[in-house]
Structure 1
Amino acid sequence: MTHPRVYAPPSTTTEALAQIDAWLGSPSLVTIGEADNHWETLRALLEAGKVAGPMVHDARIAALCIAHGVRELWTVDRDFSRFPGLVTRNPLQG
């Protein structure tokens, strides 16, 4: 939201924080974290996707989703398609 090369115009930090506060205040929000099998799941994704460098962060997100049974990750980032077991959809495409 705040990256000037991605968003024109980018949100201010204050605006971004207010939006996150609104999401966190939603009664339907469920947050997820690392499960007991996180390392095993992450390691498998790192190996299967031949992941290194900055892509490790994407693998961590994918591992969290898989471990918590997320059926579909909505993202415009095509890099997530490299992770087996995680279905992705671009919400900006029909």
Structure 2
Amino acid sequence: MILPDVNLILYAYDLDSPFHPAAAAWWTKCLSSAETVGVAQVIVFAFLRLSTSSRIFANPFSVQAAIREANAWSEQPNVRVLAADQDDWQEACRLLKNAGGSGNLVTDAQLGAFALSYRGTVHTADTDFQRFPGVSWFNPITGAKGS
């Protein structure tokens, strides 16, 4: 299972990002792949929050357009929207405590918990997942990976 981080999804939609071409190709491939893509609810809401912000995008989406995009993902046959359960909560807390992190690591810990639960790989453009031993991650822009 591929577990996308919001940074890559945002790059896929941000025409001004230097990472846009690679991220857009990656996201298109993910959505048309036979491999399951697990989009965590926290990532969907982060996309809605950030893609509609003029502080993030020079030309932000309207709320309606952002919702349409997110709905289009969930309509793909290989996409599952993932909601955290009690076990995911406990695992995310464990990852966060062990990493000694807070702030932006909170969402990363949630994705890490899903990666462990579903034996998936987080696809991300940041390096924070290196702080979570046992969590498989891959950066499709640079090709870096780890666990």
Choose between structure 1 and 2: higher strand proportion. Answer: 2
Alignment-derived partner of residue 75 in structure 2: 25
Task: Give the count of matched residue pairs.
Answer: 93
Counterpart position of 2:96: 46
Matched, 1:81 2:130: yes
Give the alignment's TM-score, normalised by structure 1: 0.74
CA drift of 1:54 comes to 4.2
User: Match of 1:30, SS?
Assistant: strand
TM-score for the superposition, normalised by structure 2: 0.52
Gaps of 5+ in 2: 1-50
If asked which structure has higher relative contact order (CA below 8 Å, sep 6+), I would say 2
For the pair 1:8 / 2:58, whether they are aligned, the reply is yes
Q: 1:10 to 1:92 in 2, by over 3 A?
A: farther
The amino acid across from 2:130 in the alignment is S
Shift of the 89–19 alpha-carbon distance from structure 1 to 2, 3 Å rule, reads same
What's the Cα RMSD here?
A: 2.3
Deviation larger for 10-19 or 26-35: 26-35
Taking the aligned partners of 1:88 and 1:67, their CA distance within structure 2 comes to 14
2:130 and 2:58 map into 1 onto residues whose CA distance is 26
Counterpart of 1:3 in structure 2: which amino acid? S
Q: Does the CA-based 8 Å contact 2:89-2:110 persist in structure 1? A: no
Higher helix share: 2
The percent of aligned pairs where both chains have the same amino acid is 29
Q: Is the 8 A contact 2:115 2:136 kept in 1?
A: no
2:92–2:110 Cα contact (<8 Å) kept: yes
Q: Give the letter aligned to residue 60 of structure 1.
A: Q
Question: SS state of the match for residue 88, structure 1?
Answer: strand
Match of 1:37 among 81, 87, 91: 87
Asked if the contact 2:111/2:122 (under 8 Å) is kept, the reply is no
